[in-house]
Amino acid sequence: MLYLDHAATTPVRPAVAEAMAPFLADRFGNSSGVHSVSRRAKNALEEAREQAAALIGARPREIVFTGGGTESDNLALKGVALAGGNRGGVVTAATEHEAVLETADFLRRFGCPTGIVGVDPHGLIDPVELAAAVASDTKVVSVMAANNETGTIQPLAPLVAAVKAENPRVLFHTDAVQAFAALKIDVDEWAVDLISLSAHKFGGPQGVGLLFVRSGCVLEPLMHGGGQELGRRSGTHNVAGAVGMATAMELATDDRDRFRTDTAEARSHFEAKLSDRAERTVPEDLALPQHSHLRFDGINNETLLVLLDRLGVAASAGSACASGAATVSHVLEAMGLTPEEARSSLRFSFGWTSKLSEAEQAAEAVLEALEGRP
């Protein structure tokens, strides 16, 4: 299989699986206990927390391990909006991942005022418009660092500055789930209050993520119980997952320069071969190097995906949860594409295992699928 769906999930790096293995075997302890079996698990968990924190310039106490990007987004939005026992407002953007948009909708249905701002044809948000959407009862603004469908990188600094200039108490959350592999995150440079990450997007295991919560930010927990994660996320820890996540963060950080160069090169070879048949949705310089979101005029994306699958190429029509359904991507719709244009768009995403030869073979397969379509 030529795997060009790294934005959906990535293969686990061998060193990550190796680092996790002992915690699925003899180091199985519950990190919340007092005996030595537990303490060994607890030590590993806290080392993973320190490692993850250091890699984004955070303090260990600012890391909350979660069950993935979706949970991190839920905790950020619900946790802040409902903190202090009242219902604060949320402002977000029309192109966010469902984990943010559905959470905002949940909060709206339970009485929290919600604002959704639009984007320009490249998926970019106007700082003035974002700041204008913030009301006196807004508690959290959530804007993703890079889009999972198109790869659009959102310049966060002007957005954070515009929001904070008038509303210094409003917290700023960013979903950096897609961004981490390619973009260096430093919590002070980014100047945001909350950041969601998910391990399986950069060579870590599925089902584990983290939320960076800047010191001083108060969250209402979603999970109530034994009070783990300083009361912010109860439940027995996924020690193997946390170790796997921190290891994957370290490896992805060390590999980031190569990753950027190699995925950009693979992508540009891939696109060059398709240049007569496809058009990029957003210009290269505005997007993640590993994302190739293309429009094939007059072609139905679902048909093309099935043909590609038969030819051994894995790609995607959008976000994993939306693909398969005959809905039009909310991201492309917000960017102003017509339903026909949206239905003729496909996402190819490269990753840490991608090779140039693979990109070339995949482009050949796309050309073959275009010829062979019914």
Among 50, 51, 33, CA closest to 42? 33
Nearer to ligand PLP, 51 or 198 (CB): 198
CA distances from 186 to 14, 55, 86, 192, 237 (A): 26, 8, 31, 10, 26
Residue 63 is a binding residue for ligand PLP (CB under 6 A) = no
Q: How far is the CB of 209 from ligand PLP (least distance, A)?
A: 5
> Encoding tokens for residue 345?
């768009």
321 included as an active-site residue: yes
> Encoding tokens for residue 253?
């950080």
Nearer to ligand PLP, 99 or 119 (CB): 99
Q: How far is the CB of 31 from ligand PLP (least distance, A)?
A: 21
Residue 181 is a binding residue for ligand PLP (CB under 6 A) = no
| Among 68-76, 160-168, 231-239, 267-275, the segment contacting ligand PLP (CB under 6 A) | 68-76
Residue 290 is a binding residue for ligand PLP (CB under 6 A) = no
* Cβ neighbours of 197 (radius 10 Å): 29
Site residues for ligand PLP, 300-319, by CB under 6 A, read 319
The separation between the first and the last C-alpha atoms of the chain, rounded to the nearest angstrom, is 23
**Residues whose CB is less than 8 angstroms from the CB of residue 356 and which lie 6 or more positions away in sequence, other chains included:** 262, 265, 266, 269
In order, the DSSP letters of 149-218 are: TT-BBP-HHHHHHHHHHH-TTSEEEEE-TTTTTTS---HHHHT-SEEEEEGGGTTS-TT-EEEEE-TT--
Q: Out of 5, 62, 175, 193, point to the residue binding ligand PLP (CB under 6 A).
A: 175
Binding mask 113-152 for ligand PLP (x = CB under 6 A): -------------------------------x---x----
Q: List contacts with ligand PLP (CB under 6 A).
A: 68-70, 73, 97, 99, 144, 148, 175, 177-178, 198, 209, 319-320
Instruction: Please identify every residue annotated as catalytic.
Output: 321
